[in-house]
Every structure is written in structure tokens, then in C-alpha cells.
Structure 1
Amino acid sequence: MISSAYIHIPFCNYICHYCDFTKFFYNRELADQYLKALENEMVTAVGKKQQAVNTIYVGGGTPTALSYEQLEVLLKVIADSFDVMACPEYTFEANPGEFDERKLALLKQYGVNRISFGVQVFDDQMLEKLGRNHTVADVYENLRHFEKQDFQNVSVDLMYGLPGQTYKDFESSINEAIGLGLPHYSSYSLQIEPKTVFYMRNKKGKITKPVEEEEAAMYELLLNKMESNGIYQYEISNFAKPGFESQHNLTYWNNDFYFGFGAGAHGYLPGKRTVNMKPLNHYNKKALEDGLPRLHEETVEKRDAIEEQMFLGLRKTAGVSKKGFEDRFGLSINSLYRRELDYLKRKEWIEENEETIRLTKQGQLFGNIVFQEFLLEDEKL
């Protein structure tokens, strides 16, 4: 069963200096054409009968950059393909200052029950340096809108490891975020990606990130602050009060199947991973022609699926289930990875019991190195 759907809306009113996602400046005419292309892609994949899914996630870009009328068109398109009223978790990404109560009421009307809120930092000067178009005051204004519309499942995004950001700066943002009393928080270290403003500035020596030791201290601060406030880590970068874990993101980390719709979107269907065309004109043309705007499809061999199960599953604090792994692949983790597990245990980067394998707190700091140990050698399969 394909249990989830990701829908990408690539339009933004401004482009953040660090963002490398598929995005374009908002244009009404282009957005109208895009919504028609998106509808054709979704109908082609799903059919005209509403499909039941466990999660829907509308991301971007900035979905709420659409006009009220376009937002309603999008919501109708999604409702035609999926049983939105029976969907347990239906998330929209939103940026502070980019929507009002009217748009929020529309989301509520069409079954949206979760908001992922791109705050990033509680510091107006730092927001300006990031290329964000909102202020801290906008955050609080929008939170009042959420409360009026009875949105109880709200997640806030925070960033650390930013150019010019100190340990004290990040501590101040965490404290303010936790003070909101929200049920879910995501926090990510800045990655300077090619084709971004920060990448060019970094190459010219105009900006630098904090040193690794300070960034590690920020991450440790994050862990301690969340835990001491009853907000529990369930994935390397995600924290929630019990019962508010993001089920959509768990789809990814559990290596389950999901649709990916829209320009540049990735999907994972039985036996294959899909990637859509990124350029807007290419996506629109192909999606309108035949509903299959694929850049490429990749067959997922057993080796790939096993490696992904380990990489993704170890991101969760619950770790990888030994029984779940064996049920899925007909092989035990011990038979494939005994040497690697013993090595990682000696390094104190993983811990193991009869049921699971999981990263230690120390191991979370070296996650990418740990994950490399689970690349399979030819003779193992």
C-alpha cells in the first residue's frame, strides 16, 4: 500500500539565501498553469476515485504563497485524489507573514490538520541575514491565527550553525520556541548547498559557519533543552510531545512507499524511486501532455532497499527493528552486519539489544560516518 503523498508547490515570494529546493518566484499565470499540470499528474497516478492515505504533506517552496483562489483550486485537486477528511495527518508548510485567517480557515475547511511553520530563528537581524521576509512579530501574529482556527498540531522549524550565530543566540531561539508550548519542533544544522546565495558568499569568504565544536555544542544544547521540557527526540532532528510525532516524516524513515507530485518531487513506489523534472516549463509541458513528468525512474534492488532501511531507520531514536528487517528482507541484520555492528559498538556509536539497533547520542554526531558502514559488499548478498 502507498500510504502517503507529498505534493510540491515551488512558488515563493522571496528566495532564502540557504534554500536549494526546487523553487521559483511567484507568478500568477505560471501558478495557474502549474496547478493544471499538477492535477493531471495526480489524476494519472491515482485515478479519479479518492484514495485513502495515512498522511498528506504539501511542501515547497511556499504553498501559502498562492492566492486565496489558487489555494482553493489546489485543495480541491488534492481532495479529488485523496480522502482528505479521513486522512489522520494532513500537513501544510507555511511561512510567517504569508497568510491570514481567511487562508487558514480555507485549509481547515478542506481537512488540513497540521501546520509546519518555518520560523528558523527568533531574531530579526538574523532573519534578515537569512533572506527571510518575516519578523518575530509575524510569528506571534500567525500563532494567534492558529489558535483562533483551533490548529492544535503545529510544528516549528529552527536552524543552527548559521553564519554569525553564537551558542547564546541559538539558546535564546530555543528558549523562545519552547516557551510557545507547541507539540512538535524540528531543528536542522545549516548545510551550505551549491546554487544558493550562501554558497557563493562562502566561496568568496564573505560568510563562514561556526566551527564544528561550537555546532556540536549547539546540537547538545538542543537535545538537553528539549528533553528537560518534556519534548522527546524521536529522530535526529525532530522532537515531539508524545503522540505528536510527524507520521509523514516517519514514512520516509521507515522506508515506506509514498507518492511524490510536482516539479522536482521524489516518490517511492513499489520497486522504484521516481524523480520529477525540475524546470517549471518542462514539468508543466510533460505533466499536461501525459501526466508523467519524470526526469528519471530508478529500480530499487534488494541491496539498495537494505542499505536504505539501515540509513533511514537509524535516524530514528527507536532505531531499526531486527524482526521488522528480517520480515521484510528474509535476512537477519546479524548475518549481514555482525562485523560492522561490533566495530560501531566499540566506538560507542551504536547500541544493540535483542530487538533493535540504534544510534547513541555520540553516534548521532557522527551519523554519516556510521551510515557508511552499512554499505553492502558484493559477496554479502
Structure 2
Amino acid sequence: MSLGLYIHVPFCMRKCLYCDFTSYPINQAQVANYLRGLEMEIELYLEVLGLENTSIESIFVGGGTPTSLMSEQLARILERLDRSFSITKDAEITTEANPGTVNLSELKELRAAGFNRLSLGVQSTHQELLSLMGRIHDFGQAREALDQARQAGFTNINLDLIFGLPQQTLGQWQQTLADIIMLKPEHISCYGLQLEEGTPLTCSIEQGKLPACSEEDDLAMFQSASAILRAEGYEHYEISNFARAGYQCRHNLLYWHNGEYLGFGPGAHSHHNQARWGNVENIDNYVSLLQSGQQPLAEKTTLTMKEQMEETVFLGLRMLKGLNRIDFQNRFGVAIDQIFAREIARLVRLGLVKTEDGYLKLTEKGLPIANQVFLEFV
């Protein structure tokens, strides 16, 4: 059996104005508490799930801002996982980082510790948009971080970008793409802004202080990203993701193939043995539950066979290649058309999905409204 591991680092130097992920201002006392809890959670799952000989093919350290921790702390987390699990020699091991929170020395330490993929949260190359989002870096720092990562030996780097921001123009977005292409990253993620309830940016839009991006502009930005990046040799392999040949994110592919993974840390989520669960978000509660010998669960759901099928379909449709019909049948012992005949027929009539080379996939028309397509299967 093989698994992916996700480690959630719930700390930031400063929370961005659009973010609703579990994160808190960096505090060394809380960091020490968090690291103790992480150690206990790893130990608990080894005991409860019997995972000592489990093969690990990908590890993703996300946040928050993982690099708000010291590089030696991140190295110790990776060392602890290495002692507890059988990490394959060619495992993809990613850490997220924000420009302005890393330097050459720290990046060298991360690379020496075993991290072989870096995901930098650049988000924009325009200072007014970075300020609007509450980012703590400027584009000059982003360029410097990438250059230092190269010097440190990272040959697999992703850059995160956000489009659909208030006051963002199509011209600005296209200039951001041109600026990023010049940096020659192996992977680029382009995420449409999600207006999450309760975040300062969402509140500003709801109060009329900022204009929401129009649907027309949002669509134009999505389409231009695909056209521009594909023209530059990046494969558009998932709705939000583009990669040079051989640099698709293996950890995220595990998610989209509805594979199994364990999440450690406050607010982390797991999918294992036909169940999904999420951890409590509060660090003190997280540690307290573990100290009492309990899993730090906020919620847990045992998935029915139908729910597993539904998830496999809408996750698989996120990939531009689509969902392999034979893989679905081998996994569940039944053809996808026997389960979702009506849904598929309706979406085909609407021109939103099609079958091509044995894959059920979104059409060009369906791609920009993928979330509406996914709702047909749940």
C-alpha cells in the first residue's frame, strides 16, 4: 500500500486578507506546542492504523506558511516522517514558501534535508494587487527567492498565482503571466480568487468598498492563462495547473485520482480506508486531545460506495485528460455509465463533457464552469 502525507503548518507572519485556511500569527510557544502535538499524532496513527511499512510516494508541507518555521524545524519534521514511514527514494517532497520568509542559507538547509520541490506563493507581480491581498512581499523578493532556490539546488519549482481579484485588469493578468514565464518555473498554478465568507477581502466587497471581478473578466483571465501558458510549452493538465513535461505535481495527482493520504496538524484532512476526516483547528485543543490518547478529530465520515464513486468522478474530471473509464470499472466493478448514465447523457447534450480515447472529460465549454458540472454527480 502507498500513501501521500500532508503536513499542515498553521502559522503565518501575517494572514492574507483573502485566506480562510487554518493559520495563526507565528508564536514560538505555540510552535513548540504544535511540534509536540505533531509528534504525538504521527505516533498515534502508526499505532491505530498500523502503517509502519506503508510506502510514501509524496509528502506536501503546506499552510499557513511552512517557512514561518525555522528550516531546522521543518527538517526535523521530515526526519520524523522518515523514521516512521517507508519513503520511496524518488518521493516528491514539497514545501510551500512565501517570498520574504526564505533566504539562501535556509533554502540550502531545506534541500539538504530532503525537500526536492518548492512551491512559492507569488500571487501577482503588481504591487497594488499584492497590497490589496495583504501579501508581505513584493515581486523583487519573489524573483530573489526563486533565484536563491535555484542556487540551493531546487530543480522543481512551482509558482502560485491568483486571478479574478478586485480591480485587476486583463492586461495586468497577462503581464503577470509574461513576468512569471520569464522566471522559467517548472510548474505554475493559476487559481481564481475564492471569496470565502468572513475574510477581510470578502467583507470589503460585500460592503461595496471594493468591486468584485466580473464573470466576464474572470473567464477571460482563465482562458488567457490557458492559451498563453500552453503556447509557452506548459501542459494545462488540471483546471488550475500547468507544468513542463515531467513536472506535474504528483501529490496533487494523488488527490485528483481520489487516492489515499493522511493529514497531520491542526485543520489537516485525511482520506484513508473509505473514510474522510478533518482535525480540529485550534492548536491547544489539537494537542490536548492527543495527550489524552484521542485522535484530534473535528469530524469523520465513512463513505458509502456511491459517495466514493461520486468523488472519483468529479475529482477525475478536474484533470484535462479526464477520468479513465476502465480505471473506474476496475476500481468499482461496474461501468461508470451504469451508475451515472442520466447525468452523463445530460452533460453530453449540453456540450459540457465528452468521451475521448477512453476518458470522460470536460469540454472547452465545460472547463470554465467545472464546479457546476461536478454538482451533477453529487
- How is 1:156-235 mapped onto 2 (pairs within 5 angstroms)? 156-235=159-238
Task: Identify the range of structure 1 (244-253 vs 203-212) with the bigger mean alpha-carbon deviation.
Answer: 203-212
Tell me if the contact between 1:161 and 1:189 (Cα under 8 Å) persists in the aligned partners: yes
Tell me if the contact between 1:161 and 1:190 (Cα under 8 Å) persists in the aligned partners: yes
User: Structure 2 CA distance, aligned partners of 1:341 and 1:84?
Assistant: 39
Whether 1:121 aligns to 2:124 is: yes
Whether 1:374 aligns to 2:370 is: no
Show the counterpart of 1:378. none
Show the counterpart of 2:343. 340
Task: Identify the range of structure 1 (104-113 vs 253-262) with the bigger mean alpha-carbon deviation.
Answer: 104-113
> Following TM superposition, where does structure 1 have runs of at least 4 consecutive aligned residues deviating by more than 6 angstroms?
none
Task: Identify the range of structure 1 (133-142 vs 348-357) with the bigger mean alpha-carbon deviation.
Answer: 348-357
Whether 1:314 aligns to 2:300 is: no
Percent of matched pairs sharing the same residue: 35
Show the counterpart of 2:368. 365
Tell me if the contact between 1:322 and 1:355 (Cα under 8 Å) persists in the aligned partners: yes
Show the counterpart of 2:334. 331
Tell me if the contact between 1:41 and 1:288 (Cα under 8 Å) persists in the aligned partners: no
Normalised by the length of structure 1, the TM-score is 0.95
Shift of 1:149: 1.2
Shift of 1:2: 4.1
User: Structure 2 CA distance, aligned partners of 1:123 and 1:354?
Assistant: 41
Q: Deviations over 1:109-138 (max 9, x none)?
A: 221100011000011121111100001111
Change (3 A) 1:227 1:69: closer
User: Structure 2 CA distance, aligned partners of 1:277 and 1:39?
Assistant: 16
User: Structure 2 CA distance, aligned partners of 1:29 and 1:318?
Assistant: 46
Tell me if the contact between 2:237 and 2:243 (Cα under 8 Å) persists in the aligned partners: yes
Change (3 A) 1:2 1:258: farther
Shift of 1:80: 2.4
Q: Which amino acid aligns with 2:280?
A: M
Q: Which amino acid aligns with 1:343?
A: R
Show the counterpart of 1:99. 102
Q: Would you say how many aligned residue pairs link Structure 1 and Structure 2?
A: 375
Q: Secondary structure at the match of 1:86?
A: strand
Within the candidate set 258, 263, 268, 1:260 is matched to 263
Q: Which runs of 5+ in 2 are unaligned?
A: none
Change (3 A) 1:94 1:354: closer
- How is 1:251-290 mapped onto 2 (pairs within 5 angstroms)? 251-290=254-293
Q: Secondary structure at the match of 2:55?
A: coil
Shift of 1:148: 1.0
**C-alpha RMSD of matched pairs (Å):** 1.5
Show the counterpart of 1:16. 16
Q: Which amino acid aligns with 2:99?
A: P
Change (3 A) 1:296 1:60: same
User: Structure 1 CA distance, aligned partners of 2:144 and 2:169?
Assistant: 27
Q: Secondary structure at the match of 2:95?
A: strand
Q: Which amino acid aligns with 1:251?
A: L
Normalised by the length of structure 2, the TM-score is 0.96
Q: Secondary structure at the match of 1:249?
A: helix
Show the counterpart of 1:110. 113
User: Structure 2 CA distance, aligned partners of 1:73 and 1:207?
Assistant: 43
Q: Which amino acid aligns with 2:91?
A: P
Show the counterpart of 1:40. 40
Q: Which amino acid aligns with 2:211?
A: T
